[in-house]
Amino acid sequence: MASNLVSKLFRPPLTQLVCLRSGCLFRGKGAAAAATGTRSSSSGSPPEKISRYPIPYKKDLPYDIVELMEEVESKGGFLPNVFKVLSHRPAEFRAFFAYYNELMNKDTGRLTKADRELIVVATSIHNRCLYCVVSHSALHRIYSKNPTLCDQVIVNYENADLAPRERAMLDFAMAVCRCDTITEQHFKSLEEAGFDREDAWDIAAVAAFFAMSNRLAHLTDMRPNLEFFNLGRIPRDKSKDKAGDGN
């Protein structure tokens, strides 16, 4: 009975996971492959030093994790290092990505995917987390098609070129990030910018989850893939054209 109970509790968040592994995050495979090579390896051999902890060989990983990794890599063109680094602890890997998936890969309420990435960037720079800042500012550039906003937010979100709703969103996210005592005043400020209490939960949950993620990245000295640094900086059409003719 307990087994039945638990399998229901952890029923697969299927549709979102599909979204997680969809190729929309990354440029086409060809372009990415061109940029790859320095740190990751395409074979089954263990990758370069991207963590303070050992990275398991694929052959030693549980099959469900390998399968997920391969799908992410095939769709996105490269495998973000966080998958490799956290696979050191398979059970925690599963819990981490199930939670991540639940919070990040959706456009619900008034938060777009770009908004969620902006929250990650603003809070992760506060926490000085190299991996999260570099990788999620790349995702923000792609989702928002704005190649410079995150660079501004990384330096100082207070004078970045933000819309008022974005500023209110980040003000609240930063309050959560700093672990301020949240009061009714916080919710009022959000309401004035058009966010209701469910949006507040969404903002806070992303900020809270990355409070955890940033600390795991510090623990492991997780290094971002080189691909992330330039992702989304150059207008896609051009680069695609250039990279594309040979494919």
d(CA 217, CA 187): 30
Hey, what amino acid is at 85?
Answer: V
Query: How many Cβ atoms from other residues are within 10 Å of residue 209's Cβ?
Result: 19
d(CA 51, CA 224): 10
Residues 6-45 that bind its own copies (CB under 8 A): 6-14, 17-18
Binding window for its own copies (CB under 8 A); candidates: 75-83, 92-100, 108-116, 188-196: 92-100
Q: Which of 133, 139, 142, 170 binds its own copies (CB under 8 A)?
A: 133
Question: Is residue 81 near its own copies by the rule CB under 8 A?
Answer: no
Q: Is the dihedral of CA 63, 65, 66, 70 positive or negative?
A: positive
Per-residue CA distances from 238 to 76, 122, 138, 158 (Å): 19, 29, 18, 33
Which one, 165 or 218, has the nearer CB to its own copies? 218
Cβ atoms of 135 and 85 closer than 8 Å: no
Question: Is residue 129 near its own copies by the rule CB under 8 A?
Answer: yes
Taking the complex as a whole, the smallest distance from the CB of residue 115 to its own copies amounts, in Å, to 17
Q: Please give the biggest Cα pair distance in the chain.
A: 58
Taking the complex as a whole, the smallest distance from the CB of residue 29 to its own copies amounts, in Å, to 19
d(CA 134, CA 201): 25
Which one, 193 or 205, has the nearer CB to its own copies? 205
Question: Is residue 99 near its own copies by the rule CB under 8 A?
Answer: yes
- The label of the residue with tokens 């009022």 reads 188
Residues 101-120 that bind its own copies (CB under 8 A): 102-103
Question: Is residue 48 near its own copies by the rule CB under 8 A?
Answer: no
Which one, 160 or 168, has the nearer CB to its own copies? 160
Q: SS in 3 state form for 13-74?
A: CHHHHHHHHCHHHCCCHHHHHHHCCCCCCCCCCCCCCCCCCCCCCHHHCCHHHHHHHHHHHH
d(CA 130, CA 228): 11
Which one, 71 or 191, has the nearer CB to its own copies? 71
Query: How many Cβ atoms from other residues are within 10 Å of residue 145's Cβ?
Result: 11
Question: Is residue 89 near its own copies by the rule CB under 8 A?
Answer: yes
Residues 51-80 that bind its own copies (CB under 8 A): 52-53, 62-65, 67-68, 71
Taking the complex as a whole, the smallest distance from the CB of residue 57 to its own copies amounts, in Å, to 18
For residues 215 to 234, the per-residue mask of contacts with its own copies, x marking binding by CB under 8 A and - elsewhere, is xx-xx-x----x--xx--xx
For residues 168 to 197, the per-residue mask of contacts with its own copies, x marking binding by CB under 8 A and - elsewhere, is --------xx-xxxxx-------------x
